[in-house]
Structure 1
Amino acid sequence: LSAGVSLTISNVDEEARLRRLAAAWNKDAVLTSLKQTNLALWQLEHNANTRLVIENLLLIYPFNTKGIPN
């Protein structure tokens, strides 16, 4: 949404909220968290410790740095 890509939003009632959230998050941090999610899925498929994988995954997720309520 914040990159100007034309998307179809399923729940149009949430469009304003989605735009606020997209503007509040650092795009590089979001990309990093998506890559980390893929890594976490791979680790879980290869029998890694679930608790450690989830903990590491949550630590890398971006925070809302602009004070906009989620």
Structure 2
Amino acid sequence: MTEDATLSAFDDEEAATESGDGAGAETESGSDDASPGDRARVRSTYAWGTYTCNHCETAVDRVWRADGDLVCPDCKSW
């Protein structure tokens, strides 16, 4: 066996640290009272794959969000 540490060696240390001072413990403080429907819709700023630019209608493999539309790098105002 090598002198490298295994992942299981860290489990016991981490559990002892979290239970010892309580700093890692999560509490139910009610800070997340909003329901999922109350939150604003989250959107990506970048995507990759097969897309068509919403401004120039060019087929591209990378798009960015500009004014709510997914656009190619040439149509994105940097």
Q: TM-score, normalised by structure 2?
A: 0.23
In terms of fraction of residues, the more strand-rich structure is: 2
Q: Could you state the TM-score of these two structures normalised by the residue count of structure 1?
A: 0.24
Relative CO higher for 1 or 2, CA cutoff 8 Å, sep ≥ 6? 1
Q: Which of the two has greater helix per residue?
A: 1
Task: Give the structure with higher Rg (CA).
Answer: 2
